[in-house]
Amino acid sequence: MLVYPSGVDVSSSALRFLSAKLRQRRRELGTRWRRLSAGRQALLTLVHLRNGHPYAQLAAGFEIGTTTAYRYVTEAVDLLAALAPTLADAVRAASTKAFVLLDGTLLPIDRIAADRPFYSGKHKKHGMNVQVLTDPSGRLLWASPALPGAVHDIRAAREHGIIDALAQADIPCWADKGYRGAGGTVRIPYLGRWETLSAGQQAVNRSHAKIRALVEQTMATLKNWRLLRKLRCSTTRITSLIQAVLTLHLTSSNP
């Protein structure tokens, strides 16, 4: 395999943050020596998450074995995932905001046609359903554990307890038509064909769409972590990957 120098568009603050956490972890374990320093292990993990490179390519670039690359990345991902905010943390943060934005996204996976629980009829592809909460500025607050793609957004929101948590905290929430019947503090656009809506209803829907446009930008930013664009790992690992990316995203976006 040919090896060449390359770059990764991740902030240096994310590298410093993960390196410090890995050094702390090694001290706790009493680790004396490893093939890669904590800084190089952090860089290995960031390259995998940001660029989506497979372990064989990472191993060649960092001059380690494929198994070692997998083990190092898994260790760092699990460490980051444990630091991700919970829904309760997100609700506390949202309690100081005027409202929150709720949306779901499908992360594509390499499942076959027989894997029906992972097939999304809405998106016409296999994937994992992830719910996202952002503040009024579009800043990511929380990303949910992954559910099979066949799960609809409203069902996913209920299973994660999002609707109840927001209602108990009395936090207004803007969502799309996929959350019809959610109740609580969730607000959705008026239903029906555009031409059948009144002028007032059309104005409300236009305003609703403008507010929700920010969450779409957040989704695009989240998927800048290219590993999430096509997940080829076991579905049992996807939640940890999402939580790791959430931690890094929040670390990089903090001033």
Is the model's pLDDT at 168 over the cut of 60?
yes
The DSSP output letter for 100 is E
* pLDDT above 70: residue 195: yes
Q: Is 130 exposed, middle or buried (0-12, 13-18, 19+ CB in 10 A)?
A: buried
The residue ranking higher by pLDDT, 233 or 65, is 65
Report which of 114, 125, 142, 115 is spatially closest to residue 218, judged by C-alpha positions.
Answer: 142
64-108: per-residue pLDDT in tens?
A: 999 999 999 999 999 999 999 999 999 999 999 999 999 999 999
**Do residues 149 and 129 lie in contact, with contact meaning Cβ atoms separated by under 8 Å?**
yes
Buried b or exposed e, range 157-185, using 16+ CB within 10 angstroms: bbebebbebbeeeebebbbbebbeebebb
Q: What is the mean pLDDT of residues 212-229?
A: 87
Residue 106: which H helix or E strand, with range?
Answer: strand 100-108
Tell me how far apart the alpha carbons of residues 252 and 147 are, in angstroms, rounded to a whole number. Answer: 26
| 131 vs 222: CA distance, rounded Å | 12
- The pLDDT score that the predictor gives to residue 87 is 96
